[in-house]
Structure 1
Amino acid sequence: MIVKQHARKTSRARLWAGAILLSVIHACAAGAVQPPAPVPDTRAGADAAIDARQLSARLYATGPALLWLADGPQRARLALRLLGKADEHGLDPAPYGLEGLAHRLDTTRDPVALAALDRDISTAMLRYLGELHYGRAPSRYRPGGLAVGAFDPVAQLRQALAEGNLDGAVESAAPAIALYGRTREMLAHYRALSAAAPDWAALPPPGTALRPGEAYAGAGLLCARLRLLGDLDGATGAPCTDADGAALAGAVRRFQARHGLAQDGVPGPATLAALAVPPARRAAQLALTLERLRWLPPLPRGRVIAVNVPTYRLWAFDPDAAPGAPVLEMPVIVGTAARTPTPLFIGKMRYLEFNPYWNVPPSIQAGEIVPKLAGNPAYLRQNDMELVGADGKVRELALPDALAGLRSGAVRVRQRPGPRNVLGEVKFAMPNPMNIYLHSTSSKELFARSRRDLSHGCIRVAHPAALAQFVLADARRWDEAAVAQAMQPGPMRTVTLPRPVPVVLFYATALVDRHGLALFAQDIYRQDPALLEALGLR
């Protein structure tokens, strides 16, 4: 069988576009950003997000002594069955103590012990409902902790018991967004794949660098695997023949598009490594996405921007626009994994700066600019930079005085607007303590790279003019021509947005798009292992 080039091209942009944004709603100018703190282990019963025993006390404060066992064990068994299905939502059922509850249900007869069992079942159910809605691990988007708001597990369970609809309580607790439902279905699919194909052998590497049109000894196994994963048409388990060769490169390209790889249709090292990842590990990635979606708080209606860091993609859309309105989507550059990862939070974009100054952060100034200036007295001039005092006035200083002032903090460096400015033509400001924002860039060639964690933490956007027109939301005053004019070289101009635009900085290595395609990305910040541990999924 021969691996051939295929004329059909699958666009990663199309596959990823809208995977988060259509579902989630209802150089760098920053200094070095500290890596995100590891996700703590919450399995030890501390209930970091949900104090289930406190909720249980409130549940029984105004209700009967027995909620599950007053009329026999049937209702209690239904509760245990629902708790046992927590894994369908990517939650390990073990912390709910199912085995012990089931044993007590079968053996307890003493009235006092039955009352204690009844309360423990309620505690487990309240914890499940709370974790299903808010997440088991602490949310990065609720740093102040959990406050019961629109969703109250006690009220939800009380109503479900009154109506005899426990299944409905569980479904209502889960995030009511389409992406969550699609991801949950895909989790079940990949678990079924894992059960059907437990032996997931790595494909043999080619003897030399494989090129289009060359024979590949592992083509038969490659064909079978791509059929199993749904990237190649044909009956799963049917033998692959030379007749399949014409479609194989196209299937490889589709697989590459779904996994954020260069789409050359050739099973090179990166593609073979992705093909070697067993379905069970992909299922774990999907389970993590369910948890991360549970973390998100409700957002106000209106225009929204979301960036999924591992896929280097930005989406912007207006849920109040006409049905079928296009989604703005573009590549981005994010913070370097090794030193300055982009932090995850929800910001509010409040204003734009056309032709911005770059006020060099102290960390970059001390670590990069001062050493370069010491070795090259013309460095500032060559890079359109200037020294600014505490009063905001430009200072002209000789090299020794300039270095002394920079080291003492008497002066700082800023870069003037222009073609060399690292922020490019426009800065999208969303004030926050970490000094993270979105901006254009003078190094546009970097968007051609497949791995784009290259910044000091901020988000560089590939199409700043389109994003500016989107957030300004004024078709008459800020049409395409007006934005283009504002981005021409000239003095800095600040424009306040008519309404702040939420910016969600998200992290998911597995998603499901609107067409039902499973999409996977590299865990560039190595955040998955800690969360797997916290959820008990390792």
Structure 2
Amino acid sequence: MRSSPTRIPSSLLSRGLVALWLACLGQAACAGVFLDGGRPTPAARQATEVLADAGAEGLVPEDYDAETLALAVASAAQGPALADPQAEQLDAALTTALHRYLADLHTGRIDPRQIRAEFTALPARDFDPAAYLKAALAAPHFADALRAAAPRVPLYASLRALLAHYRTLADHPAWATTLPPLPGKRKLEPGQPWAGLPQLTKRLVALGDLPEGTQPTPTYDTTLQEGVKAFQQRHALAADGVVGRGTLAQMEVAPAQRARQITLAMEHLRWTPLQLAPRMIVVNVPEFVLRAYEVRDGTVSVALTMNVIVGKSVKTHTPLFDEPMRFIEFSPYWNVPPSIAREETVPRLRRDSAYFTQQGFEFVNGSGQAVTDLSQDHLNAVMQGTMRLRQRPGPRNALGDIKFVFPNHSNIYLHHTPSTQLFARERRDFSHGCIRVEDPVALARFVLQDDPAWTPERIREAMGQGKSHTIRLPQPIPVVLAYSTTIVKNGRPHFFADIYGHDQLLDQTLRRNAQARRQAR
């Protein structure tokens, strides 16, 4: 760039391009990339097309001044060639806009800690937009190379396609008006007539829950029920075919709202660490599901899927973070967290002394010695923090008979539970923050699969010994506690409740940041 003052061309005096130009001043990498002899290169036109298409990636074209840059490039192509200062300024504006686009596409638009996600720093955090842009310019297909900065996980590509589909539904007549009130007892059951059946049929067809060409019927028949069951299953509802308040509320969510939900899921993926090792375990908290993944020959496959129970939505959220699993503890002790001891266990023991023996509790003093007699002094010591409560291994132990340990400052782990009936619920936020797993034997087999001696029979035997025993994993396995209210399974979208409000907070943060950028222009 020239050191002498230059005039900012009038074509750049809008929508924040002055700020882009100033940001690029003094950066040698910005000069001479997109203008040749005062005329835009083919790469310049492709760059404006990619920026204009940022919405397809769940981003906002306005954030990159896509419209104004496209007009400036078109003007430079069709009108008089730009002189050096003006050409350099347009080149700088395009380059800076692409740097911002690439950074947003690759690593996201916010620091995940803003929505209480404590993920470790990834190698991707060191992403260099300038270096990436330089490499993209040398690639055979520049526009494709730019778009390839997006997260390279299969779910992202599925969400991108899903976003495009839901945007096509935005003006669908099936959502032109709201559905009428439900009949009778506010439930639509088999055989009932309802004024909303034609509109319901159209929505289910548009969403792919009923085949194309399905026609409405006078009463709620078997065909419609099957469509409703498919819809319910995709929206984490009891798939009973009965349209009640919960099902109706989900059916009233407009496609534009779903599209926004999909963009938030894409944003989550940009900074959730999902490519750490050949094997890894991922818990999607709002889905209440754990998946164990393997990567072989560059192909990611799901080796294991199971239901889980996570922290309560009201008070004891399961935090979002990633840490390597290092230990498995068979027949574990449960060291009652101080907050649970103070707020729940000690008050219960003061009311019901028999609970102490029934549940296999004991006290542990400052020297690590177990004390098995219940007294008010010992309870007071727990309240004061000079003693702690723990539960011995056994059939009533809150951790069940196995614990998967990935050391972290929140003291969160995966574990079995004696309360297995809760896994049958559609919504499973019942814990104090730790994650209860439905099939601990299968998970242990996945974790220990490199050692053929650990057969399912041996795992069950170790779980049932009643004596605490810990083994160290020879190769730690990454565990990621993630949050996505939209996923694609078997080619079909599935939506989940924003149980902790993380999507709402992310949406608010993105909108607030966008407003701040507009005000700064």
Q: Which residue of 2 aligns with 1:70?
A: 36
Specify the SS of the correspondent of 1:112.
helix
The question of 1:82 aligning with 2:50 is answered yes
Amino acid at match of 2:212: G
Is 1:219 aligned with 2:197? yes
Q: Which residue of 1 aligns with 2:384?
A: 408
Distance 2:445 2:22 in 1: 49
Query: Aligned equivalents of 2:153 and 2:25: distance in 1?
Result: 31
- Give the TM-score taking structure 1 as reference length: 0.83
Give unpaired runs (5+ residues) of structure 2: 1-14, 516-521
CA deviation profile, 1:151-197 (whole Å, cap 9, x unmatched):
43212211233446331222221112221111101100000011334
CA distance in 1, matches of 2:72, 2:189: 64
**Contact 1:472-1:498 at 8 Å conserved across structures:** no
Q: Is 1:276 aligned to residue 258 of structure 2?
A: no
Q: Is the 8 A contact 2:310 2:318 kept in 1?
A: yes
Mapped partners of 2:419, 2:20: distance in 1:
51
Letter in 2 for 1:228: A
1:55-454 matched pairs, under 5 angstroms? 60-61=27-28, 63=29, 65-71=31-37, 72-74=39-41, 75-102=43-70, 105=73, 106=75, 109=82, 111-140=84-113, 151-163=127-139, 165-197=141-173, 199-208=176-185, 210=187, 212-217=189-194, 218-235=196-213, 239-241=215-217, 245-297=221-273, 299-320=275-296, 327-396=303-372, 399-454=375-430
What is the SS of the residue equivalent to 2:460? helix
The offset of 1:378, in angstroms, is 3.4
How far did residue 498 of structure 1 move? 2.3
Higher relative contact order (CA 8 A, sep 6+): 1
Which one of 473, 491, 494 corresponds to residue 519 of structure 1?
494
Distance apart, 1:242 and its partner CA: 5.2
The CA deviation string for residues 415-439 of structure 1, in whole angstroms up to 9 with x for no partner, is 0111111101111100001111100
Residue 342 of structure 1 and its aligned partner are, at CA, apart by 0.8
Mean CA deviation greater in 238-247 or 149-158: 238-247
CA displacement 1:59-111 (0-9 Å, x = unmatched): x43x5732222241354343222111111000112221234445655489564
Aligned to 2:5: none
Offset of residue 324 of structure 1: 10
Q: Distance in 2 between matches of 1:132 and 1:165?
A: 18
3-state secondary structure, aligned to 1:317 = strand
Listed one character per residue, the Cα deviations across residues 344-399 of structure 1 (whole Å, up to 9, x for unaligned) are 11121111111100001111111112222222333322321001011110125562
Normalised by the size of structure 2, how large is the TM-score? 0.85
Q: Is 1:350–1:501's contact at 8 Å kept on the other side of the alignment? A: yes
- Contact 1:203–1:272 under 8 Å retained in 2: no
- Aligned counterparts of 1:234 and 1:335: Cα–Cα separation in 2: 41
Task: State which structure, 1 or 2, has the greater radius of gyration over its C-alpha atoms.
Answer: 2
Matched position secondary structure for 2:283: strand
Alignment of 1:31-70 (within 5 A): 60-61=27-28, 63=29, 65-70=31-36
Q: Which AA in structure 2 matches 1:204?
A: P
Asked if residue 490 in structure 1 is aligned to residue 466 in structure 2, the reply is yes
| Aligned partners of 2:330 and 2:470 also within 8 Å | yes
- Percent identity over the alignment is 42
Residues of 1 paired with 2:53 and 2:212: CA distance? 33
Aligned-partner SS, 1:504? strand
- 1:451-462 equivalences under 5 Å are 451-462=427-438
Runs of 5+ unmatched residues, structure 1: 1-43, 46-50
Aligned pair count reads: 485
